[in-house]
Structure 1
Amino acid sequence: MRVTDYELFEVPPRSLLLKVETSDGIVGWGEPVVEGRAQTAAAAVEKLLETYIVGEDPFPIEDHWSKMYRSGFYRGGPILMSALSGIDHALWDIKGKALGVPVYELLGGKARERIRLYAHFSGSTPDEMAEAARERVESGFTAIKNGPRVNWEHLDNRVSLDFVREMVGAARTAVGDEVDIMLDFHGRPSKQMAKRLVSELEEFDPLFYEELVVPEKNHLLPEIAQHTTIPIATGERMFSRWEYRSLLEDGVIDVVQPDVAHAGGITETRKIATMAETYDAAVAPHSPLSAVALAACVQLCACTPNAIIQEQIVHQEGTPNYLSDMTVFDYDEGGYIDLPEEPGLGIDMDEDFVREMATEDAWDAPVMRRDDGSVTEW
């Protein structure tokens, strides 16, 4: 069997899907997108496939990964690693289908019987936050996440802190103490504000604080962590096990959040998870993308002992469904899904719908500004 061809599809809301074909007629799918830079990622995917994969046996995935990562001299970063990730998904999908087993069976077999999902919620006022949180819980989720989207000043005031306290407090009151709430800061706060926030919000007992600072400020996390007992999570903008090493060695990170569509695919994310396990850190894979990336995450969580919960947006209103059968992601009253049993990634793509939805109208991340007009984190 040889890889013979491929196609790329940019689809809403912000995904890039990859179809890889083989001489045996087996097709693999992956998601190699960089949100807001899909066309740039597509060019990198084409270069990697044409240089290293087309015409080759798809089975030696570790060797293909090493070629794509090491042989270009320049390595790492969001574009190259995301391109590599989507190709890696597709190769695992092909191998699993060829051997008739889910990918997790090729990675040592299942470590659990089911996987817990969480949903996002948001609102502009405390009442909206409370209602959105209730709706998610009433739909069956026992874990929900919100990003307190405040355009923080570098040194902000009591009014801003009280506003966030009121927003988070409204959600906590609405759902009670049995529901897990996670808080994602998108790296917006400065070190000074992050220290105040983790202290101010601790009474609401979040499951974890996510991305309190942007990755280039990760060296500040030990100082920030001294101001709270709540677990610290980060990693969605980190792209290899080497980037996680110092944080894990410092003992400051409690939950790693590699994105299987950015951090080297299933191959590298599995290694990040295993490395994290040696430091007693949990894994909660980042995945705000389509069902393809989610399927890759599910395969990873199935065989990863320290995986604790899985992000998803496929159950959110307005998210296009690119699968022929979405029941693979049906969840029970606790927000858990069963392990997939179909081979490969365990999904059946609706290729006609993918082609119908394909677009060249690229999604761009918004530009966020503070009150004085200066640019801040999105």
Structure 2
Amino acid sequence: MKITDIKVIVCSPGRNFVTVKIMTDEGLYGVGDATLNGRELAVVAYLEEHVIPCLIGRDPHQIEDIWQYLYRGAYWRRGPVTMCAISGIDTALWDIKAKAAGMPLYQLLGGASRDKVLCYTHAQGTDIAECVDAVGAKLDQGFKAIRCQTGIPGLPNVYGTGKYAVTTNAADDAMPREEMWSTPKYLNYAPKLFEAVRNAHGEDVHLLHDTHHRLTPIEAARLGKALEPYNLFWLEDTVAAELQEGFRLIRQHTTTPLAVGEVFNTIWDARLLMEEQLIDYIRMTVVHAGGITPMRRVMDFASVYGVRTGCHGAMDMSPICLGANLHLDLWAPNFGIQEFSGYLPEILDVFPSAWTLNDGNLHPGEAHGHGVDIDEDLAAKYPYQRAYLPVNRLEDGTLWHW
């Protein structure tokens, strides 16, 4: 079998997505997600100008060699653009291999370790009362794990709340939106949210919270300690994780489980965190980590240190990424939970998927390959729209972590 052509398909059915489609001389094809939210066309150029010309005529079954060729062979390794591009290729190649084998991808990985994949969804409000009601609505839909985010008095709508709780490529997103942040106000208010949610909905629901990299290590330690009475499933992205050693300070002061990794690109970004057991869940995801090939290594490495998986699953990754994640989730012995923020109907139309959601659990399905495709004709009706992620400032104007 030989690779005959590779296409890069860019579409925007409410969000921008970059999809790689690899064709072969035996009629099989595979698709992969290569979306880098807010920098999509940088990945497109990397693929079209630097990657695709090197792969035509190669054997698509040589996945490991192709991955090493694209990673080591570039010399300039790592980084989000490079790893998203590699992921698009790698995921499409695994799709082809599983189709050629006549089995769903999870079987090719070694088979299922469980019958279903627990997922968590999002509930948010502009204030605590609204968030408490939103949690109740998600429980009524069958979800058993819910990420809770609330607005903060004295601040405009902050991350995960208000109009932009689920962002789209709206006209007012054509340039980066600026948000405002106050750590003192947040630290005083966040514990009140979880007290209210527990009082309203009891102890059985798994509660999660995302700080989105905004604290210092000692501030994160304070928050983790304050949230201990409410028994969180995890506290996510408390600090900007470039300084992995910063988690040592957090770990010294709180038993609240910690999760991090959605912006990580390689196992090296998380090595120390896992080796020293400074985190409980690794949040890396297929599209940003360079594909299925390296994610298997990350999951295996994590298992040695008792770290569980918790793959990032926001709407800015296409259903192809979610499908690939779910096959890994079903296989991984150290699986923890899968994020599922949901998709707009238009997105699901463009990306027909075999995965299913039932009573708060996901399953990748039994279709050969990873089970997600792209309708190219429909995708063409949703052309790319330039869009950015927001930026964040403190109340005095200092640029801060978003």
- 1:218-257 superposed Cα distances (whole Å, 9 cap, x missing partner): 2111101122111111111111122222111222111111
| Alignment of 1:372 onto 2:388 | no
Structure 2 counterpart of 1:264: 290
Paired residues of 1:290 and 1:313 also in contact (CA < 8 A): no
How many positions carry a matched residue from both structures?
A: 371
Alignment partner of 1:37 out of 24, 29, 39: 39
Query: 1:52 Cα shift?
Result: 2.9
Query: 1:54 Cα shift?
Result: 2.0
C-alpha distance in 1 between matches for 2:92 and 2:364? 19
Q: Out of 23-32 and 270-279, give the one that drifted further.
A: 23-32
C-alpha distance in 2 between matches for 1:146 and 1:43? 37
Alignment partner of 2:137 out of 132, 135, 138: 135
C-alpha distance in 2 between matches for 1:87 and 1:66? 12
Q: What amino acid is the match of 1:300?
A: L
| Alignment of 1:203 onto 2:229 | yes
Structure 2 counterpart of 1:214: 240
C-alpha distance in 2 between matches for 1:323 and 1:114? 25
SS of residue matched to 1:252: coil
SS of residue matched to 1:217: coil
Structure 2 counterpart of 1:330: 356
Q: What amino acid is the match of 1:301?
A: D
C-alpha distance in 2 between matches for 1:51 and 1:68? 12
Paired residues of 1:248 and 1:279 also in contact (CA < 8 A): yes
Query: 1:25 Cα shift?
Result: 2.2
Q: What amino acid is the match of 2:244?
A: N
* Residues 81-160 of structure 1 aligned to structure 2 (within 5 Å): 81-147=83-149, 149=158, 152-153=181-182, 156-157=183-184, 159-160=185-186
Structure 2 counterpart of 1:71: 73
| Alignment of 1:349 onto 2:371 | no
Identity of aligned residues (%): 33
Structure 2 counterpart of 1:179: 205
**Structure 1 residues 80 and 339 mapped into 2: Cα distance closer, same or farther (>3 Å)?**
closer
Q: What amino acid is the match of 2:3?
A: V
Paired residues of 1:296 and 1:345 also in contact (CA < 8 A): yes
SS of residue matched to 2:253: coil
Paired residues of 2:364 and 2:370 also in contact (CA < 8 A): no
C-alpha distance in 2 between matches for 1:130 and 1:317? 23
Structure 2 counterpart of 1:8: 9
**Structure 1 residues 138 and 93 mapped into 2: Cα distance closer, same or farther (>3 Å)?**
same
- 1:286-316 superposed Cα distances (whole Å, 9 cap, x missing partner): 12122111001011112111012111223x5
- 1:322-344 superposed Cα distances (whole Å, 9 cap, x missing partner): 45655x333222x1133411111
SS of residue matched to 1:111: coil
SS of residue matched to 1:122: strand
Paired residues of 1:113 and 1:339 also in contact (CA < 8 A): no
Q: What amino acid is the match of 1:352?
A: D
**Structure 1 residues 143 and 49 mapped into 2: Cα distance closer, same or farther (>3 Å)?**
same
**Structure 1 residues 31 and 297 mapped into 2: Cα distance closer, same or farther (>3 Å)?**
same
Query: 1:319 Cα shift?
Result: 6.6
Structure 2 counterpart of 1:320: 347
Q: Out of 166-175 and 133-142, give the one that drifted further.
A: 166-175
C-alpha distance in 2 between matches for 1:197 and 1:281? 21
Structure 2 counterpart of 1:306: 334
* Residues 20-35 of structure 1 aligned to structure 2 (within 5 Å): 20-35=22-37
C-alpha distance in 2 between matches for 1:160 and 1:58? 50
Q: What amino acid is the match of 2:195?
A: G
Query: 1:87 Cα shift?
Result: 1.1
Q: What's the Cα RMSD here?
A: 1.9
Q: What amino acid is the match of 1:73?
A: Y
C-alpha distance in 2 between matches for 1:41 and 1:200? 41
